[in-house]
Every structure is written in C-alpha cells, then in structure tokens.
Structure 1
C-alpha cells in the first residue's frame, strides 16, 4: 500500500504577455516579467525582465533591468543590468547598459554606452539631447554645440554625440554661467 503525498508545486514565475497592439506609456513600478509579442508604440518602463518577442514591433524608448530582444525595436534602450539581442532582432536606436550580448543574426544600428551599473541612469529623462538643451536654454542648437565644444557647458561626448545631464545643466544655470 503506497502513501500518496500532496506535493506542493513551486510557484512558477509569472509572465505578463502583451499580444495586442498598444500605444502610450506603460510603467511598472514593481518588478514584473513582461513579454511584448505584438505592436507597441510609446514608452516602456519596467523593473524586472522585459522580453520583446520575435514577432513584436516596438517603437518606443525602453527602460528596464534585464532586456531580451528578438523582435524589432525602433527607439533608445536603457538597462541597469543586461541587454541581449537574439536573432532575428533588429534594434535601431542607442543602447546604455553595463552588459550587452549580440547574438549571430541580430542587427544593431546605433550607439552603445557600456557603463558600470552605478553609472546607468534609471530615469532617461535625466539626460538631454542637443535639441532639448537648446530648447531648455532658449538658444540655437549651434550655440549649444559651441558651448559644449569649448567646455563652457557641462557635457560628455559619446563618440560623435554630446550627452547632457539635466541636473548638471540646472546647476550650471543656477550658478549663472550662461551670461
């Protein structure tokens, strides 16, 4: 005579699948495992894991901890931990992450900044483009470029592009260095 035991199964990690076509801003403040399989346009911010499925088409700026891309992404990607591009991924946009893996058959077109985890900004709004700085300071774009080139304006050059931290621009403004 055998004894039957009710074995409790370990809870499986839950995955939130998005198969629909969506537009807008999607923000998860608590850790989540999110997989996009359809179309998404807008802005994605998650804590946890984000997977862009093989048939997904995403036009968005993305910010997450761990990101796997197998589909198409048009937008900038920021990850605090890792980004993996696996075939047939196609990413057009800039990437910021401490760890990047690009598998054979995956395509990446853009700039990549690989910085330590503590240097990766969780909030992409903390960095500004040349156009955004010009608008913020109410000056022409060429003035911003000149100030950045001469070191008058706090900026970091990443390859061919300038990167501006909003907090440093605000400090610069408050110290009245714009005069």
Structure 2
C-alpha cells in the first residue's frame, strides 16, 4: 500500500503533467485529466481538468469545460465552469453559459450566454432567468419623446 507521503508524490506528478492536442487534430469524445491541457485543434466532447486549460487561437471546442483555471483564445460552444480564474482573450468566442469566481475579458472577445461569478453554483434555471431579464432590459424599446 501507498503511504501518505507516496500518495502525495504521485498526486503531485499527475497534477503537474501537461497534455497537448495539436493544430489539425480532431478528437471526438470526453477528456478527463488531472494535469494541464492545451488545445490548438478541435474537440467534440466534454473536457474536465483539475488544473488549467488553455485554448489557443485555432482551437474549437464543442462541449462543456470544467477546470480550475482557463485561458481562452479560440471558440467554445458549451458551458464553461471554472472554479478560479477565467481569461477571455480578444480572439475568444463563447456560445454558452459561464460560471467562474473571477473573469477577465479582453476587448474584442465575444460572449453570448449567461454569466455567474463568485458565490455558489447557480442552477440552470437561475442562469436562464438572469439571461431573460438581461435580454428584456437590453432590447427594451425606447420611450417616445413627449412635446410640452
């Protein structure tokens, strides 16, 4: 059996591992890793990492992302759930809901969906309600001017 010291060493090795999906690579299926993940290609499936995920400019992800930290330069169609920091670079395009503690958005990034920051995890119904209220406020017809 492993001792606590050996288990911690194995866990540290797993967490510090790095994985790369290169440009031109297409992967169908879910990915789960304890280490860092960099994607330059296309992934159709859900992604889960206990570390950091970096999506390069050429990346396309169709599926949900769960990570501790994330930096996105490419395209994501799905929910992005990041427990710490999420950085949306100026080339990023997100089509889906975002849940994160801290969000950094560069000018030029595109985002279409609901967003929940800080506190506890919202329900899907809560995100839909937030988006509905936002949409009603954003597209409200201007009042007609009155003459005196």
TM superposition score normalised by structure 2: 0.70
CA distance in 1, matches of 2:51, 2:79: 18
Structure 2 partner of 1:25: 30
The equivalences for 1:26-175 within 5 A come to 26-28=31-33, 30=34, 32-116=35-119, 119-120=120-121, 129=124, 158-160=129-131
Residue 120 of structure 1, CA deviation: 3.8
Residues 98 and 120, structure 1, Cα contact 8 Å, conserved in 2: no
Structure 2, unmatched stretches of 5+, are 1-15, 133-148
Q: Could you tell me the TM-score, scaled by structure 1's length?
A: 0.59
Q: Note the C-alpha offset of 1:16.
A: 1.6
**Gap change, CA 1:157 and 1:89, over 3 Å in 2:** closer
Is the contact between residue 80 and residue 120 of structure 1 (CA under 8 Å) also seen in structure 2? no
Q: Secondary structure at the match of 2:90?
A: coil
Gaps of 5+ in 1: 1-12, 122-126, 131-154, 162-179
Give me the whole-angstrom Cα distance separating, in 2, the residues matched to 1:112 and 1:57.
Answer: 20
Does the 8 Å contact 1:62/1:78 carry over to 2? Answer: yes
Of structures 1 and 2, the one scoring higher in RCO (CA 8 A, sep 6+) is 2
Q: Whole-Å Cα distance in 1 between the matches of residues 127 and 48 of structure 2?
A: 25
Equivalent-residue separation in structure 2 for 1:77 and 1:44 (angstroms): 10
- How many residue pairs end up in the alignment? 115
